């Protein structure tokens, strides 16, 4: 097929986006080089203002990366040894890592098979188990996996009933929406990442926290610069170096300008895949009223063996595919001794880790390429049958 012969298919095509806005990026970088304010230059507060507006949050604090964004909230809320923070096991390691950094316990929760997101029933089970183990149920960290917001209508009331707060790990979900509410305006706070491959990415590491809570915001402002008081040589708490580079802020301002259009394009790509593939394989399900940022387009094969066969066939056709995530966190060497909702395995996480795989997904995927990828997959099905 022509697509394979003419052009390599990228899993995430950052070059296509760059080609579109390269002169603006060049000019933005040149402006920073001219004014020389590399640390906390004027682009940083300007970006924060634009991001807060976009997300419908009162405050946005930019920072060094998505992991530090999560850590800033946990540190500001004084999460410590003896506290349990409930987190899905089917996520990137950073979600649980920051909890363990502070000596607290990441308490692993199972997921729902349709959304890959935190299962509220498993969460309830985990909270009861944590109490029995003498832990203090402090906070819930739902993850908006692959770009789809978690089930907040169920999770927020569970948090309230148990006197806990909610930190949304929306490293993959920025740009999404939950029943009319933008990601970034849900729960006590939302953390996101600007890692280049995330829906809104910079050209390096970056992240941000969103909240409506002034007190929380003020403490995070201090934590971001070594726990500063009146200035950085007045240290009122133990903090970190968590700043976003001015250059990355300048780049993000240009990328944010085209982000709304990119979100529409991502939805179009997902719709196109869905139409072509729904009769052959389990496609991602997006409930009514939810908008996904489509960080990943993830399919569920019938078995581990079938996933291997399909991925092999795709590879032979020149189509890259990835498995997010091959191993849930509660089975990872570093995390296997932390507690789970069941006290043993988490069956849905384990099952899906063995069957899911993700197709190329980015706003600039052309119709012809989507067709080629889908047809390659369908051909593999027909061969196997
Ligand atoms: C990417 C990611 C993070 C961490 O973000 P970084 O910017 O890479 O530190 C945290 N949680 C999830 C779910 C992620 O996908």
Transcribe 21-76 into DSSP letters.
HHHHHHHHHHHHHHH--TBT-THHHHHHHHHHHHHT-SEEEEES-HHHHHHHHHHH
Find the DSSP H helices in 278-364.
304-316, 347-353
Q: How far is the CA of 187 from the centre of ligand 1 (A)?
A: 18
What are the phi and psi torsion angles at 65 (to 5°)?
-170, 175
Please tell me the predicted confidence (pLDDT) of residue 4.
47
Place of tokens 């940083």: 44
- Which of 87, 195, 209, when mutated, tests ligand 1's pocket best, judged by the most ligand atoms within 8 Å of its CB? 195
Measured between alpha carbons, how far is 139 from 83 in angstroms, rounded to an integer? 8
Query: What is the spatial distance between Cα 100 and Cα 135, in angstroms, rounded to a whole number?
Result: 14
Q: Whose CA is closest to atom 10 on ligand 1?
A: 94
Q: How far is the CA of 232 from the centre of ligand 1 (A)?
A: 27
Instruction: Say what the pLDDT of residue 5 is.
Output: 52
CA 280 to centroid of ligand 1, rounded, Å:
31
Residue 381 has a pLDDT of 85
94 C-alpha to center of ligand 1: Å?
6
| E strand map for 92-162 | 105-109, 136-140
Residues contacting ligand 1 via CB (< 6 Å): 65-67, 91-92, 94-95, 143, 169, 171-172, 193, 195, 205, 207
Q: How far apart are CA 279 and CA 226, in angstroms?
A: 54
Report the chain's mean pLDDT, rounded to a whole number: 96
H/E stretch holding 209: strand 207-211
Residue 94 CA, closest ligand 1 atom number: 10
pLDDT in tens, 142-199: 999 999 999 999 999 999 999 999 999 999 999 999 999 999 999 999 999 999 999 9
Find the radius of gyration of the CA atoms of the chain: 21
Chain-centre distance of CA 78, in angstroms?
23
Tokens 């230059």 belong to 41
Q: Using 50, 70 and 90 to split pLDDT, how confident is the model at 382?
A: confident
Looking at the CA of residue 207, tell me the nearest atom of ligand 1. 7
3-state helix, strand, coil in the chain (%, to 5): 45, 15, 40
Instruction: State yes or no: pLDDT of 55 exceeds 80.
Output: yes
Q: Which atom of ligand 1 is nearest to the CA of 65?
A: 7
Task: Determine the Cα–Cα distance for residues 356 and 373; give it in Å rounded to an integer.
Answer: 17
pLDDT digits (tens, 9 = 90+) for 58-69: 999 999 999 999
Contact between 183 and 176 (Cβ < 8 Å): yes
Judge contact between 224 and 72, C-beta under 8 A. yes
* Region for residue 209 given its phi and psi (left: phi exceeds 0; alpha: psi -120 to 50; beta: otherwise): beta
190 C-alpha vs ligand 1 centroid, how far in Å? Answer: 12
Name every residue whose Cβ is closer than 8 Å to that of residue 30 and which is 6 or more positions away in sequence. none
**pTM: predicted TM-score of the whole model, two decimal places:** 0.97
Digit-coded pLDDT (tens) for 64-105? 999 999 999 999 999 999 999 999 999 999 999 999 999 999
The proportion of the chain whose per-residue pLDDT surpasses 70, expressed as a percent, equals: 98
Write down the pLDDT at residue 363: 98
CA distance linking residue 210 with residue 48, whole number of Å? 9
pLDDT of residue 220: 98
- Report the residue among 94, 106, 173 best suited for mutation to probe ligand 1: largest number of ligand atoms under 8 A from its CB: 94
Mutate to test the pocket of ligand 1, among 93, 95, 176, 208 (most ligand atoms within 8 A of CB): 95
Which ligand 1 atom sits nearest the alpha carbon of residue 70? 10
| Ligand 1 center to 65 CA (angstroms) | 8
Distance 173 CA to ligand 1 centre (A): 10
Residue 7 has pLDDT above 80, yes or no: no
Two tokens at 190?
């939302």
pLDDT, tens digit, 9 for 90 and up, residues 225-256: 999 999 889 999 999 999 999 999 999 999 99
């Amino acid at each position: 097929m022509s697509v394979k012969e003419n052009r390599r298919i990228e899993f995430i095509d950052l070059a296509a986006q760059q080609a579109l806005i390269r002169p603006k990026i060049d000019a933005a970088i040149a402006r920073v080089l001219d004014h020389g304010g590399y640390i906390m230059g004027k682009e940083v507060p300007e970006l924060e203002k634009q991001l807060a507006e976009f997300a419908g949050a009162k405050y946005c604090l930019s920072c060094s990366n998505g992991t530090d964004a999560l850590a800033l909230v946990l540190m500001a809320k004084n999460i410590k040894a003896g506290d349990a923070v409930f987190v899905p096991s089917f996520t990137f390691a950073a979600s649980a890592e920051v909890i363990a950094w502070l000596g607290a316990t990441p308490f692993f929760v199972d997921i729902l098979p349709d959304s890959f997101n935190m299962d509220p029933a498993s969460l309830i089970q985990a909270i009861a188990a944590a109490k029995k183990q003498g832990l203090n149920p402090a906070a819930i960290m739902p993850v908006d996996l692959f770009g789809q917001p978690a089930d907040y209508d169920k999770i927020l009331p569970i948090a309230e009933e148990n006197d806990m707060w909610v930190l949304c790990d929306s490293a993959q979900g920025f740009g999404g929406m939950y029943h009319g509410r933008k990601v970034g305006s849900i729960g006590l706070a939302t953390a996101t990442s600007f890692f280049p491959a995330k829906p809104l990415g910079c050209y390096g590491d970056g992240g941000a926290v969103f909240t409506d809570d002034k007190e929380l915001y003020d403490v995070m402002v201090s934590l971001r610069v070594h726990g500063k008081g009146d200035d950085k040589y007045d240290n009122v708490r133990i903090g970190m170096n968590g700043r976003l580079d001015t250059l990355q802020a300048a780049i993000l301002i240009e990328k944010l300008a085209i982000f709304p259009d990119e979100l529409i394009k991502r939805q179009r790509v997902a719709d196109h895949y869905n139409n072509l593939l729904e009769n052959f394989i389990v496609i991602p399900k997006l409930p009514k009223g939810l908008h996904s940022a489509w960080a990943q387009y993830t399919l569920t094969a019938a078995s581990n063996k079938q996933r291997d066969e399909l991925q092999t066939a795709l590879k032979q056709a020149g189509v890259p595919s990835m498995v997010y995530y091959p191993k849930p966190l509660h089975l990872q060497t570093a995390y296997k001794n932390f507690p789970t909702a069941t006290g043993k395995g988490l069956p849905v996480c384990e099952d899906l880790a063995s069957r899911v795989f993700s197709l190329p997904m980015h706003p600039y995927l052309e119709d012809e390429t989507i067709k080629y990828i889908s047809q390659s997959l369908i051909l593999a099905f027909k061969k196997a049958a």
